[in-house]
């Protein structure tokens, strides 16, 4: 019974919670693809790639817990998800879990889509490098922006077959910057100065600004605000609790925001909660809609071909 209980905890803390976190990213990529009419994959294709990705990416959690074992053992309060440091598993068992997730997950992705397999491998190794060589919290937080962005790009590619979309680029980066700041806040034990906030604010506001055109065109701006509000309320509810309770509230917030995003295709024609750029004052429309859209178009025309060439070549190499 004890053995079954600890394996249940392993499935929950590594595989299930990993799936919940990534489902939120998948929902974001999906509704953007849906609103832009860019979905090219079937539900079954998306589901199988997602499950294979979860298996492969879970190897990162095994690796991180092995790498952080000595540090975690010295912590005054060990988080509940740190099963290895809490003594529920031996290092040999975690190494076996890492090998299983890495080998079978990558093999499944390679069979399903070689391009996604190679992008996912870059993502996993980037995580390992971050864990092994980045000791500075600021460096780890900023590197997380790249990691989460690549994760979103993988899901976008799985759903649409399109490597890059210049109009979704700032939305993805805005999400990743906000997520990275939340990670930084969590690791700083919820104590952050105004100066530390300013590390993230300029980048965050810049990409939020460039996200406005596609959010207005797609009618998603209010939906995103509702999803963000639901997550924010959950975080604020748990912010003064212990770290395990805060993480539980964070999971609830992710589930709620994911449900809100997933319901967009179902409710968008029945519930009209959108802002049209035509209804905005002329000056506001020019500053927040026409101008950023024009800049994004110029950037896309200049850099998109090179970006697509790089990832096309990676996909060709991986399929050899």
**Which one, of 127, 177, 125, 172, lies nearest residue 152 by Cα?**
172
Per-position pLDDT tens, the chain of length 320: 445 677 788 888 888 888 888 988 898 899 888 888 888 989 999 999 999 999 999 999 888 888 887 877 777 677 777 778 777 788 888 899 999 999 999 999 999 998 899 999 999 999 899 888 887 877 888 888 889 999 999 999 999 988 778 888 888 888 888 888 777 776 666 555 656 666 667 767 777 777 777 777 777 777 778 888 888 888 777 766 766 677 777 778 888 888 887 777 776 666 556 666 677 777 877 777 787 788 877 777 776 666 666 656 655 554 55
Q: What pLDDT is attached to residue 303?
A: 67
Whether 134 maps to a domain, the answer reads yes
Whether 122 maps to a domain, the answer reads yes
What's the full length of the chain, in residues? Answer: 320
* 162 CA to centre of own chain: 18
Whether 61 maps to a domain, the answer reads no
How many domains does the chain contain in total?
Answer: 1
Whether 184 maps to a domain, the answer reads yes
d(C-alpha 106, C-alpha 122), whole Å: 11
Token duo for residue 253: 């917030």
Whether 96 maps to a domain, the answer reads no
Whether 300 maps to a domain, the answer reads yes
d(C-alpha 172, C-alpha 170), whole Å: 5
Whether 6 maps to a domain, the answer reads no
Whether 155 maps to a domain, the answer reads yes
Alpha-carbon distances, residue 178 vs 4, 107, 207, 238, 296 (angstroms):
37, 32, 11, 18, 21
* 274 CA to centre of own chain: 25
Domain that holds residue 168: 24-42+114-318
Measured from the Cβ of residue 116, the count of other Cβ atoms closer than 10 Å reads: 22
């Amino acid at each position: 019974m004890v053995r079954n209980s600890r394996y249940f905890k392993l499935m929950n803390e590594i595989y299930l919670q990993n799936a919940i976190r990534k489902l939120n990213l998948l929902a974001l990529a999906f509704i953007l693809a849906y609103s832009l009419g860019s979905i090219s994959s079937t539900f079954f294709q998306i589901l199988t790639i997602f499950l294979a990705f979860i298996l492969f990416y879970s190897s990162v959690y095994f690796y991180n817990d092995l790498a952080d074992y000595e540090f975690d053992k010295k912590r005054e309060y060990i988080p509940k998800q740190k099963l290895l440091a809490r003594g529920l598993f031996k290092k040999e068992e975690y190494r076996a879990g890492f090998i299983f997730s890495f080998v079978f997950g990558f093999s499944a992705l390679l069979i399903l889509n070689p391009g996604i397999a190679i992008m996912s491998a870059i993502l996993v190794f980037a995580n390992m490098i971050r864990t092994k060589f980045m000791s500075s919290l600021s460096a780890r937080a900023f590197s997380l922006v790249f990691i989460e962005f690549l994760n979103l790009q993988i899901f976008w590619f799985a759903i649409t077959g399109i490597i890059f979309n210049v109009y979704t680029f700032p939305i993805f980066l805005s999400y990743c910057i906000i997520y990275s700041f939340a990670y930084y806040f969590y690791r700083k034990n919820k104590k952050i100065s105004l100066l530390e906030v300013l590390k993230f604010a300029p980048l965050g506001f810049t990409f939020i600004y460039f996200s406005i055109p596609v959010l207005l065109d797609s009618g998603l701006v209010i939906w995103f605000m509702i999803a963000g509000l639901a997550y924010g309320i959950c975080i604020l509810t748990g912010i003064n609790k212990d770290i395990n309770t805060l993480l539980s509230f964070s999971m609830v917030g992710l589930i709620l925001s994911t449900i809100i995003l997933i319901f967009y295709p179902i409710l968008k024609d029945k519930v009209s909660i959108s802002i049209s750029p035509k209804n905005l004052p002329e000056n506001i429309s020019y500053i927040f809609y026409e101008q950023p859209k024009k800049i994004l178009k110029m950037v896309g025309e200049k850099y998109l071909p090179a970006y697509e060439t790089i990832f096309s070549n990676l996909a060709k190499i991986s399929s050899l």
